[in-house]
């Protein structure tokens, strides 16, 4: 949020600014506070770049005039006004609120009073869609080999084509399938390890240092580089706080966060499931997949408290032995999930696209037209992209896989048919 502090003197501006400096750094980062200081005679030139206007007590009687003038120009502006202890009275409240001031605070109030007001404003901005707040999707599975990692990577590429800033978080700490499939590896994993062993603070800067970009819009967050620290992250209760902190900061830095849990349920992944907007369970169309899902659902429903945030994707690697209605008919009498979790279309069998790991591409860009259309429909149903939104022309912008593997661009130009290129 962009905050403009106005007062008659530099000393008055600094007095207000020091209250914000007294906030915990994590609060500043989560609220995404960007502060400017300006004198009263110059505020009109800066007001159009502000979300919140804070008026210092040195303005005295003209504070209400400034508030009224600012709201005439920007009716959506939120205004907080400070006043001296002598002026802090019912008359001051009435005058301020008649001018449109949201909150009046005395000079001797605690910085926490201002923080509380900023947190309330931020919550309103979130409801109104005025601040970036990523959609969080946890992708998991009841048994291995269902294609959860393939779906996770493919949805990230769909988001990339639609220019959504996306974080791919690999929490499959044992096999690291997502990172290996995308050929992502680097010293950035040491940053994640430093969060776990406590040698580095989790901040926006350290998160940026830990991210590995695979395109202009998609970055990967690796597991810790040490297996001991990786297991501590997902299995130890301290990992819950680490993951929660990362999620809080990453949420204001991205439009979409896709988390591949590798099917592991522990304190950290359980906490992420509770925080997620959607928990996507990828299942195959086999009998063993069905029985595994039956057991897995008992844990997941308890973690997410109900089924309103659970969705299933049936990945038809085996040729649709069991159709979605059959799977639903088997599970519904026991789990009473309702129709919503079953709304996503099954991913069709696509042998060519299944060879994507290590190619520098994903199931989306390597798949047939029906596969790409299904993945776009899934992304729209999960609110990762807007239905009817026009994607960027990937052929003009350059495909995301060109940065993943040396020579991928040349290969795509020479050997990829028209059916392998995402259509805009």
Residue 367 Cα distances to 11, 375, 416, angstroms: 62, 10, 11
Higher pLDDT, 421 or 333: 333
Do 2-128 and 135-420 share a fold?
A: yes
Q: Which of 9-18, 128-137, 246-255 has the lowest mean pLDDT?
A: 128-137
Class of domain 2-128: alpha beta
Domain coordinates in residue numbering, the chain = 2-128, 135-420
Higher pLDDT, 43 or 221: 221
Give the DSSP letter of residue 222: P
Return the SS3 of 140.
strand
Rounded distance, CA 185 to CA 179, Å?
A: 7
Q: What is the pLDDT of residue 219?
A: 96
Rounded distance, CA 189 to CA 233, Å?
A: 13
- What confidence category does residue 139 fall into, taking pLDDT thresholds of 50, 70 and 90? very high
Q: Which of 55-69, 247-261, 309-323 has the lowest mean pLDDT?
A: 309-323
Q: What is the pLDDT of residue 375?
A: 95
> Helices in 129-201 by DSSP H: which ranges?
148-161, 177-181, 188-197
Given a cut of 50, is residue 423 above it in pLDDT? no
pLDDT tens figures, 384-417: 998 877 776 544 444 554 544 444 444 433 333 3
Q: What is the chain's mean pLDDT, rounded? A: 85
Percent of the chain with pLDDT over 70: 90
Q: What is the pLDDT of residue 392?
A: 66
Given a cut of 70, is residue 146 above it in pLDDT? yes
- CA torsion angle 248 254 260 264 (round to 10): 0
pLDDT tens figures, 72-123: 989 999 999 998 887 777 677 788 888 899 999 999 899 999 999 999 999 8
pLDDT tens figures, 164-203: 999 999 999 888 999 999 999 989 999 999 999 999 999 9
Q: Which of 112-121, 214-223, 276-285, 317-326 has the lowest mean pLDDT?
A: 317-326
Most confident of 137-141, 265-269, 416-420: 137-141
Cross-strand partners of 282: 141, 313
Q: What is the pLDDT of residue 305?
A: 79
Higher pLDDT, 332 or 376: 376
Give the DSSP letter of residue 85: T
Beta strand pairing call for 218-221 and 211-213:
antiparallel
Give the DSSP letter of residue 347: B
Q: What is the pLDDT of residue 111?
A: 93
φ and ψ of 268, to 5 deg: -70, -50
Q: What is the pLDDT of residue 321?
A: 58
Q: What is the pLDDT of residue 291?
A: 77
Sheet holding 52-55, edge to edge: 34-39, 2-7, 52-55, 78-83, 103-106
pLDDT tens figures, 287-343: 666 777 888 888 888 888 778 899 998 886 545 556 778 888 888 888 888 889 999
Q: Interhelix angle for 188-197 vs 238-251, to 10°?
A: 130
Q: What is the DSSP string of 6-48?
A: EESSHHHHHHHHHHHHTS-HHHHHHHT-EEEEEEGGGGGGTGG
Whether domain 135-420 has CATH 3.40.50.300: the reply is yes
Q: Which of 49-58, 225-234, 306-315, 369-378 has the lowest mean pLDDT?
A: 306-315
Name residues whose C-beta falls within 8 Å of residue 283's C-beta, 6 or more positions apart in sequence. 141, 142, 146, 289, 290, 293, 312, 313, 314, 315, 327
CB count in 10 Å sphere of residue 205: 12
Name residues whose C-beta falls within 8 Å of residue 376's C-beta, 6 or more positions apart in sequence. 158, 385
Q: What is the pLDDT of residue 396?
A: 44
Cross-strand partners of 347: 315
Q: What is the pLDDT of residue 158?
A: 95
φ and ψ of 36, to 5 deg: -125, 145
Name residues whose C-beta falls within 8 Å of residue 271's C-beta, 6 or more positions apart in sequence. 240, 243, 244
Burial group, residue 100, by CB count within 10 angstroms (0-12, 13-18, 19+): middle
Rounded distance, CA 53 to CA 70, Å?
A: 9
> Helices in 216-266 by DSSP H: which ranges?
227-235, 238-251
Name residues whose C-beta falls within 8 Å of residue 344's C-beta, 6 or more positions apart in sequence. 280, 311, 312, 313, 377, 378, 381, 382
Given a cut of 90, is residue 29 above it in pLDDT? no
Name residues whose C-beta falls within 8 Å of residue 292's C-beta, 6 or more positions apart in sequence. 142, 143
Name residues whose C-beta falls within 8 Å of residue 15's C-beta, 6 or more positions apart in sequence. 7, 56, 107
Percent of the chain with pLDDT over 90: 52
Residue 268 Cα distances to 260, 276, 295, angstroms: 12, 12, 20
CA dihedral over 110, 111, 114, 119, signed as positive or negative: negative
């Amino acid at each position: 949020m962009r905050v403009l502090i106005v007062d008659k003197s530099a000393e008055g501006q600094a007095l207000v600014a020091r209250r914000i400096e007294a906030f915990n750094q994590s609060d500043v980062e989560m609220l995404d506070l960007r502060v400017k200081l300006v004198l009263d005679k110059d505020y009109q030139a800066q007001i159009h770049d502000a979300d919140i206007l804070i008026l210092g007590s040195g303005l005295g009687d003209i504070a209400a005039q400034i508030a009224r003038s600012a709201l005439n120009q920007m009716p959506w502006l939120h205004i907080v006004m400070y006043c001296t202890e002598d002026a802090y009275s019912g008359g001051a409240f009435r005058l301020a609120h008649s001018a449109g001031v949201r909150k009046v605070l005395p000079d001797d109030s605690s910085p926490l009073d201002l923080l509380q007001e900023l947190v309330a404003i931020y919550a309103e901005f979130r409801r109104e869609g005025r601040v970036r707040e990523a959609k969080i999707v946890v992708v998991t599975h009841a048994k291995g080999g269902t294609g959860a990692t393939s779906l996770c990577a493919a949805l990230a590429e769909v988001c990339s084509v639609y220019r959504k800033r996306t974080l791919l978080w690999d929490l499959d700490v044992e096999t690291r399938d997502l990172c290996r499939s995308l050929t992502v590896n680097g010293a950035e994993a040491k940053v994640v390890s430093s969060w776990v062993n406590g040698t580095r603070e989790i901040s926006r800067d350290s998160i940026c240092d830990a991210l590995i970009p695979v395109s202009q819009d998609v970055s990967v967050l690796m597991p810790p580089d040490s297996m001991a620290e990786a297991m501590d992250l997902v299995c130890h209760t301290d990992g819950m706080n680490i993951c929660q902190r990362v999620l809080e900061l990453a949420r204001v830095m991205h439009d979409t966060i896709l988390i591949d849990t590798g099917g592991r349920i522990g304190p950290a992944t359980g906490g992420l499931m509770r925080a997620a907007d959607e928990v996507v369970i990828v299942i195959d169309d086999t009998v063993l997949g069905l029985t595994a899902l039956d057991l897995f659902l008992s844990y997941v429903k308890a973690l997410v408290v109900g089924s309103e945030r659970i969705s299933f994707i049936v990945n038809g690697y085996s040729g649709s032995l069991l159709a979605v209605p059959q799977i639903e008919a088997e599970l519904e009498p026991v789990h009473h999930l309702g129709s919503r979790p079953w709304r996503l279309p099954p991913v069709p069998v696509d042998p060519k696209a299944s060879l994507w790991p290590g190619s520098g591409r994903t199931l989306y860009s390597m798949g047939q037209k029906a596969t790409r259309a299904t993945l776009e429909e899934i992304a729209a149903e999960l609110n990762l992209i807007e239905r009817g939104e026009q994607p960027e022309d990937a052929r003009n912008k350059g495909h995301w896989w060109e940065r993943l593997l040396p020579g991928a661009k040349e290969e795509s130009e020479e050997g990829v048919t028209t059916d392998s290129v995402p259509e805009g």
